[in-house]
Structure 1
Amino acid sequence: MAEYKLKGVSSLGLKPGDKQEVEVEGLDAKVLLLNASGKVQAVGPRCTHYGAPLVKGILGTNGKLTCPWHGACFNAQTGDIENAPALNALPVFKATERDGAVYITGDAETIKAGNRKPTFKCATAGTAQTDKVVVVGGGSGALGVIEGLREGGFTGPITLISNEGYLPIDRPKLSKALMTDLGKLQWRDDEWYKTGSVEVVKDEVTGVNFADKSIATKSGGTFAYTKLVLSTGGTPKTLPLQGFRVLGNIFTLRNVHDAKKIVDAIGEQKGKKIVVIGSSFIGMEIAACTSANNDVTVVGMEKAPFERILGEEVGNIIKKGIEAKGVKFYMSAGVERAEPSGSDPANVGFVHLKDGTKLDADIVILAVGVAPATEYLKDNSVLRLESDGSLKTDESFAVVGLKDVYALGDIATYPYHGPGGEGKYVRIEHWNVAQNAGRTAARHIVNPTLKPEFFTPVFWSAVGAQMRYCGNTMANGWDDVVMQGKPDEGKWVAYYTKGETVVAMASMGMDPVMAQCAQLMQLHRMPGKKELQDGLDVLSLGPPQ
């Protein structure tokens, strides 16, 4: 440990909620100097998720520091993770004022790194811990619960069972960039899981015996548990129409294997005619990321992309940006069938729409939604699935009616207590919701007396430009949209309201607004519809408190 002087800082006179990114003398590094709940210190300057500058984030007077890009939240006093999608915590450095200068104390390598891995190393041999946790599914929720357990001091055995053939990945990169390199996609490597004494089983779960607390797998394995976490994600839907189930070069996208098939079909030469069926987030992201050097067409049933979630006005704003990349759209369209070309009867050649339009297609990508991946539970006599195939949980993501069982992510329907939610049960298919649900379940397993804390759902989308969203429009719907900013310049905010209550927001080119709203929604202190209609800038409210 050594002491380092901060350039251009003469005092620790920051007010609660204030922050300043500064250089460290003698090191090629910066830190974020901030006042967290009355305590001035320095932390790593960038979000540990994708490296967003935290100086542009939001620091509440409660000490919560929220990333401006993807909603990751840190405890600015301890550096610990409060909310996904960050995995590594922030390092914290003591700051002192002396002789008209400010110094921080820390290790040079840690200051340069700007992050610290959470407490994960664990040796379960000989432990007095009696619980054994089995996690089914290798997605975001699984990662959240496993790391949350070890961070929370759980020392019992943990087994992860996943049928994907690899460790948990950064799944959003599949649709946003068609990335297939596991070295860049996997959040942690094999050695990381070994240090935490996590047994990784690459197999498929075929059934659960809740009475005996055991799991059966496709290869014939049996795994006992005392606590079970189900996080099997979603299964992409297909079209039950002529040609779609028999022709080649028709793909869905859920895992790395799917992405590799699509990349291989496009090939290095590109120049392919790609038809994307579906105009919500997966479809629009795929259209945007494949548009370079390909002829891409999107077919959507809605009047505008994202109409159900974001509304027609916002959907058309985003559509215009993607059209600028050369992507063509057929909206309010119905698909009739797929057929092969004359030269290649095994693969798709055309997509026919119900209005008679015939689209050339070398490749078809189906992005028509997902269903909860709970097929292995459908014949279970002690479990009742919801009508959509999901599992009903409480606020801690414990399955209602089952002891010691939790459900996360796409398969969980849980009570929503955000603005306008009123405890209505919702199923939210967001990456950060699954990971936060995992962290919530982990805290409940470690200490069942802890009351779960509401987290604001956040998602982001690479649709021509980066879109940010927080809140939820699905609990009780929305009846109006308040627009601010300049859509023609790519800088706008849309506030979705139900009566006077703002239930969600979406934005482009104004990232700190999302971070501010995420904190305000968590605190239930979002301004009302009329204030926003009158032009209120939520950033003018200062640090949330």
Structure 2
Amino acid sequence: MTTSPERIVIAGASLAGLAAAHGLRERGFAGRLTLIGDEPHLPYDRPPLSKQVLRGLYSADTTLPRHPDLEAEFRLGLPATRLDPEERFVELGDGSRLPYDRLLIATGTRARPWPKPEEAALDGLYTLRGRDDAQRLGQRLQAKPRRVVLVGGGFIGFEVASTCRDLDIPVTLLVRDATPLAAALGAHLGGLIGEVAREKGVDLRLASEIERMEAEGGRLTAVTLKDGERIETDCLVAAIGTLRNVEWLDGSGLAADAKGLRCDAFCRALRRDGSVVRGVFAAGDVARWPNPHDDDALVAVEHWGNARAQAETAAGNMLAGDASAMRRHDHLPDFWSQQFGLTIKLVGLTDGADAFAVRHGSLEERRLVAVFGKEGRTVAAASIDSARWLPAYKAAIRERAPFPPIEEALDQPRLRVQEP
């Protein structure tokens, strides 16, 4: 029988880290509990940063509530720099070492920096991932830049574009692909969001990239696109994706790379040879795990709901004693976004989908539920301002129902299956 842990370290003072800490205490862990965070802030909520915080409706302090009896030590402003899984300690940025009986790795992601360092250093260029990022960008938006240029065709780029229009700031959104949001929502829904953005005043440029930036005295003044067009701007937001925080695991023998830290179905970290690392678990954006809803295909999900659910599963398994008492992580990924007056919700993952159908409402109404299929099976569903049917589709995805799973509902149009 495995000895009960006395010291648990959580690398990552984030939503996942805090959820795991709460889960451990709720399950009776009474030992020493330490959370490590590379930021100086206590765990905070990220979704409001690109929405209410930038609009000036909230301050950047979105600290998450903590249970008054949590009794955890927070080591903040000190990143984890090295892991020794044999000696069982984590080394911090100040050279100190924290021994552990169980370790949860929840170090998350960071914003992908602009690829040209000399341009990335310009005054006027921003990224948006953390609380400090939101505070700096929010202050800049409140000062009303003459034009914001956004680079990136994902949800963050569109949410910031929506915020800019709410603040009556001119905005140009540069998307490298031919269709925005296609990776998450497919061409039909992504195209719809692009249409709405344009109607709201966004200068949306598809298949567009920046060739170079111009500056005066270290301040951004303009960008030139690859097609030669020059756009004057004093504020550029690079929303070009994220990088997983795994570099500190180099030399540890763990299976960690740019795709994330590989873990098994029970959130246990794995070595490069596929064996389980004793006492080490993973959760949240950094974890790459077998998705039971897609035949155990490995996936890393940067969603709020998954971070919380996976952390709670990991917390239970850290105290389980042996594998026979552990619970599999089987969260069905879900996501939501608010932009341009629309509420977009998604359950499941659209990766590899080969069929698409609007099953309630219509693209023309901009109020709908659409379903994604893969090899004859329902794998995801998305809603725009019409989430009433999503629970039914969520159940169908879990049940591996055929595509499409629900027929003859009163508000369904004639079935038209299309490529996503």
User: What is the TM-score when the length of structure 1 is the normalising length?
Assistant: 0.69
**Structure 2 residue 330 is matched with structure 1 residue 454:** yes
Distance (whole Å) between structure 2 residues aligned to residue 354 and residue 242 of structure 1:
19
Query: Per-residue displacement from partner, 1:310-363 (whole Å, max 9, x unpaired)?
Result: 1111111111222232111001112211111xxx33111112111112122110
Q: Which residue of 1 aligns with 2:363?
A: 487
Q: 1:333 aligns with which of 185, 190, 208?
A: 208
**Selected match of 1:473 from 350, 372, 375:** 350
Distance 1:170 1:530, change over 3 A: closer
Match of 1:510 in 2: 386
Map Cα deviations across residues 457-508 of structure 1 (whole Å, 9 max, x no partner): 111011221100010123xx11121113122333111211112211111111
Alignment partner for residue 64 of structure 2, among 187, 192, 201? 187
Q: Give the conservation status (yes or no) of the 8 Å contact 1:271–1:293.
A: no
- Residue among 263, 272, 290 paired with 1:393: 263
Task: Please state whether the residue corresponding to 2:395 is helix, strand or coil.
Answer: helix
- Residues 374/531 of structure 1: CA separation in 2 closer, same or farther (3 Å cut): closer
Report Cα offsets for 1:253-293 as digits up to 9, x if no partner: 1111011111122234x253100100101111111112222
Check whether the contact 1:496–1:504 (CA below 8 A) recurs between aligned residues. yes
1:521 lines up with 2:387 in the alignment? no
Q: Indicate whether 1:283 and 2:130 are aligned.
A: no
Letter in 2 for 1:430: H
- Residue 369 of structure 1 deviates from its aligned partner by 0.5
Q: Unpaired runs of 5+ in structure 2?
A: 272-276, 413-420
Residues 167-223 of structure 1, C-alpha deviations (whole Å, 9 max, x = no match): 21111111223358568611115xx35x22111111221111211111111123221
Report the counterpart of residue 430 of structure 1 in structure 2: 303
**One-letter code aligned to 1:395:** A
- 2:105 — aligned with what? 230
Contact conserved, 1:243 with 1:339, CA < 8 A, in 2? no
Q: Which residue of structure 1 lines up, in the alignment, with residue 141 of structure 2?
A: 266
Change (3 A) 1:446 1:519: farther
- Structure 2 vs 1, CA of residues 267 and 414 (structure 1 numbering), >3 Å: closer, same or farther? same
Residue among 370, 379, 382 paired with 2:253: 382
In the alignment of these two chains, the number of paired residues is 396
Give me the CA root mean square deviation.
2.2
Q: Give the structure 2 partner of residue 165 of structure 1.
A: 40
Is the Cα–Cα contact under 8 Å of residues 457 and 472 in structure 1 kept in the other structure? Answer: yes
Amino acid at match of 1:397: C
CA distance in 1, matches of 2:170, 2:344: 24
Instruction: Provide TM-score, normalisation by structure 2.
Output: 0.88
User: Which whole-Å CA distance do the structure 2 matches of 1:209 and 1:453 have between them?
Assistant: 26
Give the secondary structure class of the aligned counterpart of 2:177.
coil
Contact 2:13 2:43 survives alignment (8 Å): yes
* SS of structure 2 residue aligned to 1:159: strand
Q: Tell me if the contact between 1:167 and 1:188 (Cα under 8 Å) persists in the aligned partners.
A: no
Show the counterpart of 2:223: 351
Equivalent residues of 1:176, 1:461 under 8 A apart: no
Give 1:129 deviation, angstroms.
Answer: 5.8
| Closer/same/farther in 2, CA of residues 352 and 330 from structure 1, 3 Å limit | same
- Alignment correspondent of 2:416: none
Q: Tell me which residue corresponds to 1:213.
A: 88
Amino acid at match of 2:180: P
1:451 partner amino acid: R
SS of 1:470 mapped into structure 2: strand
Shift of 1:146: 1.1
Say which SS state the counterpart of residue 399 (structure 1) adopts. strand
CA distance in structure 2 between the partners assigned to 1:400 and 1:211 by the alignment: 14
**Residue in structure 2 matched with residue 409 of structure 1 by the alignment:** 284
* Aligned CA distance change for structure 1 residues 265 and 530 (closer, same or farther; 3 Å): closer
Structure 2 SS opposite 1:350: strand
CA contact (8 A) 2:13 2:35 kept: yes
Percent of aligned positions that are identical: 26
Gap runs ≥5 in structure 1: 1-127, 540-545
- Preserved CA contact (<8 Å) 1:148 1:439: yes
Deviation per CA, 1:346-390: give whole Å up to 9, x if none.
Answer: 111112111112122110001110011112112x1423323x251
- State how far apart, in whole Å, the 1-side matches of 2:210 and 2:218 are: 20
